[in-house]
A and B are shown apart, each in its own frame.
Chain A
Amino acid sequence: MSREEKVSQRELFDKQMKEFEEFVESMKDSLGLPTFPDMKSGALQWYDQRWITTRFVISVEGIKEFFDKLIDGKFVTTKCKSCGELYFPPQKDCPKCRKSDMEWVELSREGELLTYTQINVKPYSFSHYDDYIVGIVRLPEGINVTAWIRADDPSKLQIGMKMRLEIVRRKPENYITYEWVPAEE
């Protein structure tokens, strides 16, 4: 299949759902009810006539420095001024010593690949992407960071290899985030 013809999982799913909904609409037109027999079992189903879209609003006020610095190309996290505990993801409070007095410190941008996977079957909200690789990398500070891995040749990835963090703009949503690349690339 050539690149132009490649359809995303989202396009396939949306097409299936559209066909299904048109079928239920036709059933409703003739019966007066949104009911239809299940394709496999034949059991009668009711197609929900009420639906919602969920999208959350999440506070990042307590860790806004992380995003401020990310914009400047820096990768930072919180360290407890009182006990020295380092946190990633950054957090406002230190449960270890129960104080909330954090300083922001820059993290290493290189680490060792602990493990990885390639996501082939995607969740709906990621179904517009090609298959993507997710990995966990351990930094020299002992902190692990999960992110996408951008690799020219995924088959060359190996546990233990050196990885480098890059701050990038995620397309098509167009927001700033970070990803791992093999250090030698």
Chain B
Amino acid sequence: MARDVAIVGVGHSRYGVRSDVNIGELAWESISMALEDAGLEQKDIEYFVVSSVGGWSSEYLPAVVIGEYSGLTPKGTARVEAACASGSAAVKLAYDMVASGSVDIATAIGLEKMNESPTPTVVEFIGRAGNYFWEFHNFGLTFPGYYALYATAYMDRYGATEEDLCLAAVKNHYYGARNPKAHFQKEVTLEKCMSSRYIAWPLKLYDCSPITDGSSAVILASGEVARELTDTPVWIEAIGHASDTANLSKRDDFTYLRAARLAAEQAYMQAGILDGYEMYKYFDVAEVHDCFTIAEVMAYEDLRFSKPGEGYKMLRDGETYIGGKIPVNLSGGLKAKGHPIGATGVGMVAELTNQLLQRVEKDRQAPIEKGRAIAHNVGGTGHYAYVTILSLDRPRG
């Protein structure tokens, strides 16, 4: 039988254009913080999983570069890739190693240094994330372009507007302005978002997450070890996972992400809470994958916080600010905190751990009453999806 797994330490670098550090230095910011948080030394870590997509950065084997720089060598390691959901995949693998009894303590480290390449090159790399030959090579789709295909279809079917999408940007910048680790720490107005230039119609500059450098780390331990290490373990209650076709044209519908929907259902089943379209009632706070504003709207629906086609109304009604039905992306989300591809999923888990332990900045701290939080992390354009549920209560008691 699988063992309970707890988060015993988290670390999170400042996200942004990090021209002040190289890859090893950037990873160390998070690793050193997580070790200190857990009260552990490198020798205690039995395995480290590194999530990093790369291509735009110089180090071809980031796992061993990070291991050497951080003193984790000679422990076992591997790099994992699930596009923008790589971080959650790393957490899942580290979780499985501990749950299975293979090791007692493992860590997931997310890292991306995207600004080692100029923007058109990064746009090129991300645009290739789909079906290279039949989508990119012939038709030059970009990452905003793929999500724009969803935005066009969603707005047409449900009557949402470009203003509705911009409300997600306004909210996430509002909280990003309160997070000293965010890439963008400035609020934006609806007018500013609406008047920004088109990147891939109907998505504008302020609908898009930025090109970000950053790292994050979480240390996981078995239930017994966690109890010895800390009085405040945060438990991983469930991890749902799914994938979808590489080629978007193979999908039937462009108003939701099937993989995210499946991953959410799976996670809710594992936690024994799957019922209806008010799933927000089980959680104090959520981090969702808002690489583009339309993605946040679909996330509400795929997580069953609302019925299909009604996610944008949660934004209109301010239901995802603190004080609403469920605060979402109090870190600033990918939109304002930034989206260092491989670090994002690990960063979500680190953020939610800090939220549950009530140790984030006061003006962006969710009230913690239910003791549960949820992370929704999508890779590519719904190609990969992971939904992770964290709890202050030990799953099996």
Contact = CB atoms under 8 A, between A and B. Distances in A.
A89 interface: yes
A138 to B, nearest CB: 9
A121 interface: yes
A interface SS class: mixed
A144 B250 contact: yes
A43 B203 CA distance: 33
Given A118-B200, A124-B124, A13 B140 contact: no
A121 B133 contact: no
A123 B138 contact: no
A148 B254 CA distance: 18
A89 B134 contact: yes
A165 interface: no
Interface residues of A, number: 38
A107 B135 CA distance: 19
A114 B153 contact: yes
A136 B134 CA distance: 12
B140 to A, nearest CB: 4
B214 to A, nearest CB: 15
Contacts of A170: 138
Contacts, number: 108
Max count, chain A CB within 10 A of own CB: residue among B118, B120, B121, B249: B120
Contact of B17 (A41, A116, A121, A136): A41
A35 interface: no
B127 interface: yes
B120 A123 contact: yes
A146 B134 contact: yes
B142 interface: yes
A13 B20 CA distance: 24
A119 B152 contact: no
A144 B135 CA distance: 12
Contacts of A40: 17, 19
A43 B21 CA distance: 9
Nearest to B204: A120
B134 A129 contact: no
Interface string A110-129: 00001111111111111101
20 contacts: A13-B120, A40-B19, A89-B247, A115-B152, A117-B148, A117-B200, A117-B201, A117-B202, A119-B200, A120-B198, A121-B142, A121-B200, A123-B120, A123-B124, A123-B128, A125-B124, A129-B140, A134-B149, A147-B138, A159-B153
Given A41-B20, A117-B203, A134-B149, 6 more contacts: A43-B20, A115-B254, A117-B148, A117-B202, A123-B127, A134-B145
Top 8 A-B pairs, shortest CB-CB distance: A126-B140, A117-B148, A123-B124, A124-B120, A115-B153, A144-B249, A38-B19, A118-B201
Interface of A: 9, 13, 17, 38, 40-41, 43, 45, 48, 58, 88-89, 114-127, 129, 132, 134, 136, 144-148, 159, 170, 177
